[in-house]
Amino acid sequence: MVQQVLTRANRELFRRPADECFKNMGDLYNHCQQMDQRSVERWILPGEIEAVPNQGTLGIEVRGQSTYTLNSWSFGQLCSVAGVSRDTVNRLTPDTASMVFYETLPRGNKPIQVYEHSGNVRSLHPASYTRLTNIELLSTIKEFATDFIPPQRAGRGEPTEEGGTGLYCGEQDLFVFLIDPTGWIEIDDEAFCPGMFVWNSEVGRRSVGIQTFWFQAICANHIVWDATEIVEFSRKHTANVRDALSDIREIMHRLVLKRDSRRDQFASVIRKAMKSHLGTEDEETLKLLARHDIPKSLAKEALDLARQNGRLTIFSVVDALTRLSGNLSYIGDRTEMDTKASRLLALASS
């Protein structure tokens, strides 16, 4: 079984300022809903757009009436539409920069898509760009990933700095990191939990996409360790971008179905383990435990402890071994013993 280390959430953690971090999915959903309600998509002919000085910086005037401010992202897109260097324009005064754009902005018949929010231009795109809003994507997640929540809050290295939650949304893009903490199951005698990354941009910063996986651990800075069964899908914001929602729904649905199937399978094994006996006599049982690398002294303790709880079943012995392993001094020894004990559950399905 191939396992990988996933660092996507870690990169998002360290590039996001505090105001792009959300405490829970409800807060993120409400924010994206408000942004969607207050953002307007306008289709403007190139000749109806003019770059103008605006409060000491550069803005755009539409049809000689409304003047909009530009953020860093939309300014870069304006430079791209005009075919001029952003770095060069940044060295000019607003008056001189407006003259450069007067000479270089196209004057054709293909409209430009201006996406603005409260007088600020969030993006400028040619007609070929098709927007998929963050709220559309979050609604899909809300519908199909009902049991998934953000992981533990991550640290950024500084004790005084508030950590990231895995839920981020800024003026350029969205990123969501979710896991199902109740979805732990056994794969090849090892414990795995389902998780997913989902991302999007309403302004052309990145594609829309999803990555699902099963993992064994998440460290304090949101690096995902020992991930397996990784599925990834992404799509650019072109004419059929909304078809991506169907693909994302299907990928999430398959993850949930596999989780439920494996969880039911594991529950079935546990039920059998609670009814199945390891052996009829202590000597026979001790030999069986020895074949699974359980030390004799620990095996005897486990049998005594298991008897205190009733019948000597596979489950009672595994439970006793797990409890006894908690007394071991070193975490490596505890982990090794827990792994050996959990493998005994396979005897219930044989």
| CB-based contact 201:173 (threshold 8 Å) | yes
Mean pLDDT, the chain, whole residue set: 87
3-state secondary structure 84-141: CCHHHHHCCCHHHHHHHHHHHCCCCCCCEEEEEECCEEEEEECCCCCCCCHHHHHHHH
| CB-based contact 133:32 (threshold 8 Å) | yes
As a whole number of angstroms, the distance between CA 257 and CA 268 comes to: 16
For 124, other C-beta atoms within 10 Å of its C-beta total: 26
Q: Flag the least confident range among 23-32, 235-244, 328-337.
A: 328-337
Q: Which two tokens stand for residue 199?
A: 């991302």
Provide mean pLDDT across the span 46-63: 89
Provide mean pLDDT across the span 107-131: 92
CA 22 to chain centroid, in Å, comes to 13
pLDDT at 280: 64
Percent of the chain residues topping a pLDDT of 70: 89
pLDDT at 306: 81
> Using 50, 70 and 90 to split pLDDT, how confident is the model at 222?
very high
The label of the residue with tokens 């899909």 reads: 140
| CB-based contact 129:204 (threshold 8 Å) | yes
pLDDT at position 100 over 70: yes
Write down the H helix ranges in 186-281. 243-273
pLDDT at 159: 45
Residues in the chain: 350
| CB-based contact 279:285 (threshold 8 Å) | yes
pLDDT at position 3 over 90: no
More confident residue, 15 or 304: 15
pLDDT at position 1 over 60: no
pLDDT at position 58 over 80: yes
Each residue's pLDDT tens digit, 61-93: 988 788 999 999 999 999 999 999 999 999 999
Question: Strand, coil or helix: what is 47?
Answer: helix
More confident residue, 83 or 157: 83
Tell me the sheet residues that pair with 214: 194, 228
pLDDT at 160: 42
118: region left, alpha or beta (phi > 0 left; psi from -120 to 50 alpha): left
Write down the H helix ranges in 145-242. none
More confident residue, 14 or 328: 14
More confident residue, 60 or 3: 60
Q: Which two tokens stand for residue 55?
A: 């409060």
Each residue's pLDDT tens digit, 256-279: 998 888 877 766 766 777 777 776
pLDDT at 199: 98
pLDDT at 245: 96
Model pTM score: 0.77
Q: Flag the least confident range among 1-10, 169-178, 340-349.
A: 340-349
As a whole number of angstroms, the distance between CA 155 and CA 107 comes to: 50
pLDDT at position 52 over 50: yes
pLDDT at 261: 85
Provide mean pLDDT across the span 170-196: 88
CA distances from 25 to 10, 169, 252 (A): 19, 11, 17
List, as one string, the DSSP characters of 145-166. -TT-B--SPBP-S-TTSPPB-S
pLDDT at 127: 87
